[in-house]
Amino acid sequence: MTSAAVEILGLGLGILGWVGVILACGLPMWQVSAFIDVNIVVAQTIWEGLWMNCVVQSTGQMQCKVYDSILALPAEVQAGRALTVIVALLGLVALMVTVVGAQCTNCIRPGKMKSRIVIAGGAIYILCGVLVLIPLCWFANIVISDFYDPTVPSSKKREMGAALYIGWAATALLLFGGCLICCCSCSQRDETSFPVKYSAPRRPTSNGEYDKKNYV
């Protein structure tokens, strides 16, 4: 039962990480305006994401615009779009595969095949964490490089937005959840999912008959 609980915990962490990746993918706050030098007091804040950019006024009004051309986007944005969408689809596959092979379900008989299916689901979660880490680190590297580049104007400098931090948290959940699923399944590969029932040997009574309680 302990291994089943750990397996469910890993599945829950994987689902949370998958939802976090979808949230980070949709948020426009991958890059935000940097308030430095003459930009300390500004009337608007610029958000830039994978699908749109937004301008937030000091009054609270926000205007967003979806990118017109896909081919005209920078390489990191195109890669980020592709990888986050792939991770979102792979996360759904990992969820279905893990549920099919989980100890708490009866879709497949307990055995080596069931354990291998769960390991495959955990491996897909780990793959999702690695794939989504690529655009996150790519964006962070560009933001940091431009921030400390003296040739980049202050108005063009950006800082890391909330979407990057959400993506990193989702990556950690995917990796940790996938590792829990794989480790739990590997340790239970040769064990059955159901406890073995013990039956006491039948002993004759003093009159030579077997006790009726042995038949219950």
Average pLDDT, whole number, for the chain? 82
- CA dist 180 and 176 (Å) reads 6
| Chain centroid offset of residue 55 CA | 29
What mean pLDDT is predicted for residues 142-171? Answer: 88
Classify strands 31-33 and 52-57 as parallel, antiparallel or unpaired. unpaired
Inform me whether the pLDDT recorded for 12 exceeds 60: yes
Give the list of residues 6+ apart from residue 90 with CB closer than 8 angstroms, or none. 124, 127, 128, 131
Across 42-56, 71-85, 154-168, least confident range: 42-56
Choose among 111, 143, 148, 173: nearest CA to 30. Answer: 143
Give yes or no for residue 213 having a pLDDT over 60.
no
Confidence of residue 169 (pLDDT cuts 50, 70, 90): very high
pTM of the model: 0.79
Rounded mean pLDDT of 96-114?
81
* CB-based contacts of 147-150 (< 8 A; 24+ apart in sequence): 147/34
Burial class (CB in 10 A: 0-12, 13-18, 19+), 193: middle
| The pLDDT of residue 215 | 47
Per mean pLDDT, which of 12-26, 109-123, 141-155, 198-212 is the most reliable?
12-26
For residue range 15-72, what is the model confidence (pLDDT) as tens digits?
999 999 999 999 998 998 877 655 455 667 888 889 998 888 877 788 888 988 888 8
Q: What is the mean pLDDT of residues 76-98?
A: 93
In the chain, what are the helix, strand and coil shares in percent, each to the nearest 5? 55, 10, 30
* Spatial separation of the C-alpha atoms in residues 94 and 82, rounded to whole Å: 18
pLDDT of residue 192: 47
pLDDT in the model for residue 176: 94
Architecture of domain 2-29+74-154+162-191: Up-down Bundle (1.20)
Whether 111 has a pLDDT exceeding 80, the answer reads: no
Q: Above 80 in pLDDT, residue 206?
A: no
